[in-house]
Amino acid sequence: MILNYISSILIFSGVFFFAVGVIGLLRLPDVYTRLHATTKCDTLGAGLVLLGLVLQGDLFIAGKLLLIIILLWIANPTAAHVIAKAAYTTGIPMAKDSFEIDLSSGKGGTEK
């Protein structure tokens, strides 16, 4: 019974992070901030939901779900990095009052 409560808390927490990611996707101004919000919330939300499901399944199912969690932890940040780099190299503008790192000058961030 306690295992069911812990599992429910993990699953509802994961759904909460998914909802926060959707709100971030709808409300944030540019592709870079939207990508950041959705990637973080998607990785954490999926991890929590799958962890809650791990507690409900048998050992074989739990092993498969843990493998999916590990693959998500690797794939989501990698995909977000590739998408952000593609957006940056194609010249998609950042939101107003953002700063951009000028890699050619050797300095840090420069105001846009």
**pLDDT at residue 99, rounded to an integer:** 73
Structure tokens at 40: 């973080």
**pLDDT at residue 93, rounded to an integer:** 87
- The pLDDT profile of the chain, 112 residues, written as one tens digit per residue, is 899 999 999 999 999 999 999 999 999 999 999 998 999 899 999 999 999 999 998 899 999 999 999 999 999 999 999 999 999 899 888 888 777 666 666 555 555 5
Per-residue 3-state assignment (H helix, E strand, C coil) for the chain: CHHHHHHHHHHHHHHHHHHHHHHHHHHCCCHHHHHHHHHHHHHHHHHHHHHHHHCCCCHHHHHHHHHHHHHHHHHHHHHHHHHHHHHHHCCCCCCCCCEEECCCCCCCEEEC
Structural domains in the chain (count): 1
Range of the domain at 88: 2-111
**pLDDT at residue 92, rounded to an integer:** 87
Side chain identity at residue 84, one-letter code: A
**pLDDT at residue 94, rounded to an integer:** 85
Q: Are 109 and 97 in contact (CB under 8 A)?
A: no
